Amino acid sequence: MPYRAPADDIRFILTHVAGFDQVTATERFAEATPDVTAAILTEAGKLCDEVLAPLQRVGDLHPSKLENGVVRTPPGYAEAYRAVAEGGWIGVAATPDHGGMGLPQTLAMAVSEMMSGACLSLQLNPLLTLGQIDALEHHASDDLKALYLPKLISGEWSGTMNLTEAQAGTDVGALRTTAKPNGDGTYAITGQKIYISWGDADFMENVVHLVLARLPDAPPGTKGISLFLVPRHLPGEDGTVGAANGVKVVSLEHKMGLHGSPTAVMQYEDAKGWLVDAPNKGMAAMFTMMNNARLAVGLQGVGVAEAACQQAMAYALDRRQGRTPVGDGAGPIADHADVRRMLATMRAEVFAARSIALGCAVAIDMSTATGKTEWAAQAGFLTPIAKAYGTDTGIEVATTGIQVHGGMGFIEETGAAQYLRDVRVTAIYEGTNGIQAMDLVGRKLMDGGEAAWRLLEEVEKTAETARPTLPDLAEPVWAAAESLREATEWMVAQPMNDRFAGAVPFLRGWARVLGAQAHLSAAMAEGGTGRRAALARVFITRLLPETEALLAEARAGAEGLYALSAEDLSA
């Protein structure tokens, strides 16, 4: 089934759920009018439908390969990438000073989600460049910005991030890559990095790596990490690509999915690099890129979930098996109650996850436009929820999509299994979902829960507004918000390891409540009847009740987990 970008659903969420009108009301983003927003979403949707989506299976069947030191990408990828770059889609939110459109991050994220649904393997390339642009805009010197940002925004060059090393993994502070001063303001970078998405490509004039490394005599751990910009080829002052730098691809990983996207092991041997920001401040600069990427990865999950949902629905409307309880009983399997349950749940989860992620993007834009700390805190609180819930939704919806197909879902030719293989890693990279949950109960509750209380007040305000017309939906949303408030109060009062033990179900509880608020807002916007109201009832009556069980687990503490020794668990 051909993929269709969900531009209309995104536009509805921006208008009626996520509060995008607050963004366009600011002086900073006043040009993002409804007409501009509609045009951006429509044109990006066409690109996804007509150019990117046809490459979804191509990349899986013809993976990227390393041949004689050159990464060879799947057929059609070069042409599709040029269409993305020439359309200006890499610079949607980038500063106009260096060639970007200067539009809200919310629109860039919406475009990114549609591209993810069309062809996740290829979308990873501009996604990483977007993150690098953001990091350089915030942390690089004016000279580096002037040289690199125009090339990255135009898509002539692409960007990567290099964090992980084999011996360090998530413990970034254990990295061994070194940076030695060359005496001319540059540094010699030496070390090896693994899991580098799009570490190289055969259709790119240059690839620019952001590399974490340690200066001589730097403090141990993360406090001694600096960030360096290391290009594949050394550019002249005018941006002309020159000699090869001391960086190469050693090998490409053989992965479960995302076969079209080359994941490289990168070797740096006295590669010339430039310091980004101050010495030993690399983690702060890299987190600018990572926070951008975490929201985008959450929307990758949503994009794949959308595509898997579309394919499952098409199959369920075409496949006929057994007597159904609708009409003359000869309808498609979509008429069977359990299949209808799966399809409705998939669609309800996608709507909720998309709404939460776009709401997070709106908070980022409001923070940028107003400088108010409350918006920054809200964006920070929502980011781990958007990342974890969005990617979990991608995995769950792709799994359910296989189930809808029955035996055919297990057959590769249908393409249903590819969605699961491709999306599975999104719960792992850019910080595993467990780390996202630990961030939520740790750093994001360091304010004593202030950001959480403000969000819960908004949920309860939505429920109050809906009470007169939709009491059957408003009441359970209100009650779930109160339960979540009590659980959050419990979390704030606990030692950190007890918080960590319940972090994942706690985050999921937040996703359930915020998703219910989004559905309730949609139902009200529709007038309480119709498709969106019916979908809201699916989420609020069938999925929201999970909140109580999730919060009970969240409050269970760590003691019971450690009553079992490691030997007990391996017995």
Give the count of beta carbons closer than 10 Å to the beta carbon of residue 166. Answer: 11
Report the SS3 class of residue 86.
helix
Contact of 304 with 117, CB cutoff 8 Å:
yes
Name the active-site residue from 27, 430, 482, 489.
430
Biggest alpha carbon–alpha carbon distance for the chain? 83
* Cα dihedral value 406, 409, 413, 414, nearest 10: 90
| Closest to 225 (Cα-Cα) out of 292, 167, 288, 278 | 278
| Closest to 519 (Cα-Cα) out of 539, 548, 547 | 539
Residues written for the chain: 571
Residue in this structure with the two tokens 């668990």, named with its chain if needed: 569
* Pairwise CA distance, residues 47 & 50, whole Å: 5
Distance of CA 313 to the CA centre of its chain: 24
* Pairwise CA distance, residues 178 & 120, whole Å: 33
* Pairwise CA distance, residues 56 & 304, whole Å: 11
**Catalytic-residue membership of 79:** no
Output Rg (C-alpha) for the chain, integer angstroms. Answer: 24
Contact of 99 with 236, CB cutoff 8 Å:
no
* Pairwise CA distance, residues 359 & 522, whole Å: 14
- Alpha helical stretches, state H, 371-470: 373-405, 416-423, 433-441, 450-466
* Pairwise CA distance, residues 564 & 571, whole Å: 11
* Pairwise CA distance, residues 257 & 341, whole Å: 28
Task: Record the tokens describing residue 302, joined without a space.
Answer: 């949503």
Residue in this structure with the two tokens 């993994």, named with its chain if needed: 169
Catalytically annotated residues: 430
